Amino acid sequence: MMNFQEKSVLITGGSRGIGKAIALAFAESGAQVAINFVNDNEEASKTIRQMPHSERHIAIKADIGVPSSAQQLVQSVVKEFGQLDILINNAGVYIHHPIDQCTYEQWQNAWRKTMQINLFGVANLCFCAAQQMIQQGNGRIVNISSRGAFRGEPEHAAYGASKAGLNQLSQSLAQALAKYNIFVGVVAPGFVETDMTKNILNGKQGEAIKQQSPLGRVARPEEIAKAVLFLSSEGIDYMTGAILDVNGASYLRN
């Protein structure tokens, strides 16, 4: 098991799904964890209770799409823990807006909301976290992207574009922040089995989605969490800027 004793971690979208799996994995590895959520206080509290030494961890409500909220989120973690060693940008939205079926207003709204949360919010959190990490002299940032950044998302174009932008943001920051001993990585999952995707996987498209991978299944949240912890670990500094594909060979890029 990886050791994150004396490390403080902020995970956005950490109350459920992939974020919850990441939060539990960090807590089990000794880290002090802050999970961010937007609406479901009950679910966030439940996740905190499931963590080992639950009294060490906190849940913070904040909409990362609002610049002032992103800044306050980082400030709250630093105030509570005294430092911020690792930032995991997991929160995101996935809005259905096929260009041949939606109105112009729906198209604009989908792009606006998606970019505000998936890209601008992440960029703001990276900025705020980096200021703290520069003062500390070290830190790690891991951003959750998607295979959709490479293969395209025909019915979720804004999502695919936001994740492609996130990849470039991450690699730019990897170059900019290396001199401060701050390392940036990306995990790009394929389809993942979570509470939010169960209906799709149990529906008409479910089997076809599973067969996209030669493994005949989709990813488990715990598999994504292991990749995130790996990129957050010490001793792999030369991997800064790397994008790890965790999609079960469902999409292979050159």
Which residues carry out catalysis? 159
Q: Are 52 and 25 in contact (CB under 8 A)?
A: no
Spatial distance between the Cα atoms of 16 and 193, rounded to a whole number of angstroms: 12
Q: Are 148 and 94 in contact (CB under 8 A)?
A: no
140 in helix, strand or coil?
strand
Residue 33 pairs in a beta bridge with 9
Please state, as a whole number, how many other Cβ atoms lie within 10 Å of the Cβ of residue 8.
Answer: 21
Whole-Å CA distances, 231 to 12, 61, 191, 201, 234: 17, 26, 20, 29, 8
Spatial distance between the Cα atoms of 21 and 140, rounded to a whole number of angstroms: 19
- Amino acid letter, residue 170: S
Does residue 251 come out as left (phi exceeding 0), alpha (psi in the -120 to 50 range) or beta? beta
Q: Are 105 and 51 in contact (CB under 8 A)?
A: no
Spatial distance between the Cα atoms of 203 and 2, rounded to a whole number of angstroms: 37
Q: Are 165 and 192 in contact (CB under 8 A)?
A: no
Question: What phi and psi, each to the nearest 5 degrees, are found at residue 101?
Answer: -130, -15
